[in-house]
Structures are given as C-alpha cells and as structure tokens.
Structure 1
Amino acid sequence: MFPVSDHELQQSPGLSGLAGCWKLAPGQALSLRPRVAGVLRIRQGRAWATLGERPRGHGPDAGDYFLLPGEQLLVQPGRHLVLESLDQGALGFEWLPRAPAPAPAPEPLLQPLADLYVAARLAGDASRRLLCGLASTALALLVGRRGVGPSRP
C-alpha cells in the first residue's frame, strides 16, 4: 500500500492512475470527485465515507457510510466522496475505477455466428448420413440372418 495525500488525488490527471491500494493516515481526510464510476473497498480499519452534496437526514440518507474491512461503496462519476479513518491507525482502502462498458460491436460477432450456422448444417448433414448408414447396415444384417442358418418348420 502507498500513502496518499489529498493534494495528490486532487491534482491527478485521471482516475485510471489511482487504481490500487492506498493508506490514509489517521486524522487525515481524503476528498475525491471521480471522473468515472468506481468502487471504494476498505482493506484495513474502519472508514467513515460521506457521499453527496447536501445532507437529507441521517446515515445513508445524509450520504454517510460506515465501512468495515471487506465492505465496498459504489461511487458514481462527479459525486463528492470524503473519506477518513474511524480508528487510531491508518485506513487501508482500494479504489477500483470502472471503465464504461464498451458498445457492442456487431461486426466481430457476425463471422462467428455465420461459422456456427455452417457448422450446424454440416453436423446435421453428417448426422443424417450416419443414421441412414446405420439403418441400411442394420437392415442388411437382418436380411442376411434370415437367409443364413437352418430353416425351422
């Protein structure tokens, strides 16, 4: 984990460089306005996270979250996140920015679908020929057995 200061995060050119594990010293607060959605995950200590501009009540309604190790909080782009430790020790946390979902690209999907269609037709034709071959072999065996061996009265 790396120590982090409020100044470093506010001056960062992009959130992608902040992905990773960080430590926040006791008594220090972190203010962050992410440009992309991300997940704040607590790794060590207890955290008090405030999310939002104007309080509207108590607890999560006011934008206050109390997080334990392993818990996480989704932060939308442009929201104001203030984070600090509730303990006397350092707060270890992880910031995981979420890249926007790419738009589906139909071109790369069309070729595999066409290949699957051709493969299914070939498999169907092969199955049909196999069944015809098995049926004719079974018929030949049955006809052959009737003509061979002693006849019964």
Structure 2
Amino acid sequence: MTRIAIGSDHAGFELKSHLIDVLTGEGHDVVDLGTDSTASVDYPAFCAAVGRSVRDGETELGIVLGGSGQGEQLAANKVRGVRAALCNDLYTARMARAHNDANVLSMGARVVGVGLAEEILATFLGTEFEGGRHQRRVDQITALEDEF
C-alpha cells in the first residue's frame, strides 16, 4: 500500500482522525504530522511538514486538512516539489492526479462531509497520472520553481 503523511489544523482535526482510521484500515502506512486536538493552532507548519515529508521521499503522498482547505493548500505548495490540490469534489480529485500529478490532497472539513471526504480520498488515491501531454505541463510547473 501507500505511505501517506497527513496533517491538519484544529478545524480539520476530527476529519483527519477519521481518515487515518480509514487509511490504516485499508492497509496504508500513515504518518500523522499533527495537530493533535481541536485546540486552535496555525496551520502553515503542519502543512509544510506534510509537504517536506513528500518532497524528501519519506512518504509517497500527503493530505492536508483545514476548515476550507485553501490556506492548507497554499502552505503545502510553498514547499518545492509539492503539487498540492484543493479537492472538495470528485472531479477535481481525479483531475488533480490524472492531469497534474498532484502529490498532496487538500480538503476543507467545513466544506465536505465525512462520506464525501472518503470518496474524494479514494478517488485521489485510485487515480494514476496519465503522463503524455500532461507531463510536459507538470515539467513547466516544476521549471517555475527553478526561477527562484
């Protein structure tokens, strides 16, 4: 199965805990990078830790969760090599993997219910990168990081 890093802020904590149970139940190896409660915290450090874990090859994929998922996606994407995608529906989850080779999934716990979050996660994990013309575009995105 897959080794997956997961992190959240306080708003995403309960969904994170649920998804860890789902993932481990399916045989995935999950690395929980925090937070560990619903006490208010700032999300950037947790999301960056997930991104670094993926970048450094410690995990294959990452998941970041917050209230909307927006800030979490932004923070994870600041880590070179991360392609975090905000996916609050099945179509974006499929396209993020198939066309963009996304390696971090971001979701909003205040946007999606538990059942939909499980479906989004399953779609993200079950979709392979198509390569081809999409590889050229991913390479162009990667080249943007090299400008700085």
- Provide TM-score, normalisation by structure 2: 0.28
Q: Which has the higher contact order (CA 8 A, sep 6+)?
A: 1
Looking at secondary structure, tell me which structure has more helix per residue: 2
- Provide TM-score, normalisation by structure 1: 0.28
